[in-house]
Structure 1
């Protein structure tokens, strides 16, 4: 037997045994961390996710996705090279949050409504957080600054759109225009909708049942990863990772406390954002950038939830995780660039004495002094590059076809 197969087989076994050993050695701490995960699930995730999950299931079952998809198909086909129904998944994800986008994308693929390449392009940008979490939970509840939430949510969606443009040419597949008129397509959807004989209340009951099961699964992941993080902390593994990460980040002025908070967010996004917000010794802009990265990346807990849905399809999960890392990086970058607009002149006076290592330098001061000129130029260049990229990829696909 090959060594690679043995390694793949035994790594999950050792991880589970390690977790069980940690729970046995530290039962009180494990119970406390499980209660913290349960508290996040009951107070944050259920109220914010359950109505949207049920609504999203109904939208799919009632064929509303198909009808709206036909209407917006020309726009989404040009921008993201996906069908209209796929772009509607992105819209639902921006409202409802994790892991609804990945769930709907996997269902479209399971039902063979989209191709493998389109599904891969879709999940690269349709798995997003929702406004209720970013503005309500993170900005208002954790950072005590509701206005910061509007900056973070703007950068979060800009990052998602940028990733969608980056993956636009994946699979070298061109979305073809429908051969039927809009009216014929809608009539076909309506006929299909009533062909199964299920009424509204049957579909509503199924949506509630599936929504509750989805939330139970989400809660299980949150609780398990809360315990995992606690066990790793008690074994000082998190401290070791934080120290390794602190070595390069210390050049930017990042403290060990902030590194530890950031590492916790890589496991569970909500816990990490809360810990980052509590590190008040660091400036708000850096905490906002790190929180934006975590929300875009989503953390191992949410990645595991999304991969649970995607594993039922032929979507490449490694590529999906890379797209989430790219989403987090771009969200943090946009937050950094747009923060001067958010803070205006107050930013200049606050940073010189608080964060000298990172911000008291010629490049940063030049950017702050001239951001009203540099930022519009950056936006113009970004739009221009995006348009050129769209044009080139479209021409390449046409030539290959």
Structure 2
């Protein structure tokens, strides 16, 4: 039976039926579809574009100017023994942990396309570099959903710890492989700042538009699934396994779109579920990453397996944090008073982080070029 369903003709028939049903629902519920699309547009205009666009420009310039190579030389001794990824991959990891989805994945793919990482190294990197940023976890989830910056900080620490663990586990992926040779890493010195800037802005605009398209699409999908009762039916099915109806409903929404899922959670008892959603990231984010993976030759399964493991480990760590360290949340309160008091908006944190990272990468690049010029000057003097 399964083999018959996997045949091309059967797949095409299933696709046709699904598309016809979707068209029928759109025609029957035009008002709900329009409202869901408007909500998606509002989310893109108010949150996604202002928070992600600076990081996309930043990541593009880091790769175009060759700054990733200079940073890689500094952290090579940490990245390779821990994750079996050359030092240039630290750029994707850092930007992913600060900028949020899908900055890390997009940066990793750009590094691969520029020859800074091998295919195996990039697939290892994709398994753990696409993470949620502190602005979303501390501001939206912590202060907004749970009403506590302490809960947000705990979730972010759990999120980062699980990401690192996934990276350590995936170091064994692909077997034993020598680190990327120097001739695979482009010098990057021939690209002018103006050219790198224009390329990065154009690429960032394309990337943000892709993300906004998927956000709007999934906003409509979630609205229509709720309208026709599909989510309610699946929720009742999950309650047969002992899950609370409200938790099951939010879990289904979180599997599709992470922000919609976590916004319905409340109370410290649901901290593990929020941690799982943040680690899994949702199908909407995965589709955004797949749009960057197109024609790259990189395996999608490795990325999805890493995100599933990230979600499971995040939930496990959150359960342990709540059960074995009940005083961990109050003890973390002194680290995040600005979040609890609402003095630092989430977008301000993202913009400030982007500028700090940009200045740091620029300093590394200038230091690297200065050393290279000194070595070149000494070589010319010897030749004379």
| Superposition TM-score tier, normalisation by shorter sequence | 0.7 to 0.9
1:66 Cα deviation from its structure 2 partner: 1.0
Matches within 5 A, 1:142-181: 142-176=145-179
| Aligned residue in 1 for 2:33 | 30
CA distance in 1, matches of 2:113, 2:18: 30
CA-atom RMSD, angstroms? 2.5
CA distance in 1, matches of 2:31, 2:53: 31
CA contact (8 A) 2:117 2:180 kept: no
CA contact (8 A) 1:125 1:164 kept: yes
1:83 Cα deviation from its structure 2 partner: 0.5
SS of the residue aligned with 2:188? helix
SS of the residue aligned with 2:171? coil
Aligned pair in 2 of structure 1 residues 342, 43: CA closer, same or farther (>3 Å)?
Answer: farther
| Aligned residue in 2 for 1:395 | none
- Asked if 1:203 corresponds to 2:196, the answer is yes
CA distance in 2, matches of 1:311, 1:194: 28
CA contact (8 A) 1:73 1:83 kept: yes
CA distance in 1, matches of 2:32, 2:154: 36
- Asked if 1:67 corresponds to 2:56, the answer is no
SS of the residue aligned with 1:264? helix
CA contact (8 A) 1:221 1:301 kept: yes
Which residue, 186, 189, 192 being the options, matches 1:194?
A: 189
Of 314-323 and 150-159, deviating more is: 314-323
- Asked if 1:223 corresponds to 2:206, the answer is no
Matches within 5 A, 1:285-304: 285-304=268-287
SS of the residue aligned with 2:85? coil
Matches within 5 A, 1:266-345: 266-277=255-266, 284-340=267-323, 343-344=326-327
Matches within 5 A, 1:1-400: 4-176=7-179, 192-195=187-190, 198-248=191-241, 250=242, 254-277=243-266, 284-340=267-323, 343-344=326-327
What runs of 5+ residues in structure 1 fail to find an aligned partner?
Answer: 278-283, 348-401
CA contact (8 A) 1:140 1:149 kept: yes
CA contact (8 A) 2:215 2:284 kept: yes
Structure with higher RCO (Cα < 8 A, 6+ apart) = 2
Aligned pair in 2 of structure 1 residues 108, 194: CA closer, same or farther (>3 Å)?
Answer: closer
Aligned pair in 2 of structure 1 residues 113, 16: CA closer, same or farther (>3 Å)?
Answer: farther
What TM-score, normalized by structure 1, do the two folds share?
A: 0.76
CA distance in 1, matches of 2:316, 2:107: 28
Aligned pair in 2 of structure 1 residues 72, 178: CA closer, same or farther (>3 Å)?
Answer: farther
What TM-score, normalized by structure 2, do the two folds share?
A: 0.79
CA contact (8 A) 2:321 2:328 kept: no
1:20 Cα deviation from its structure 2 partner: 2.4
CA distance in 1, matches of 2:314, 2:151: 14
SS of the residue aligned with 2:7? helix
CA contact (8 A) 2:63 2:110 kept: no
Number of equivalent positions: 327
Aligned pair in 2 of structure 1 residues 317, 176: CA closer, same or farther (>3 Å)?
Answer: closer
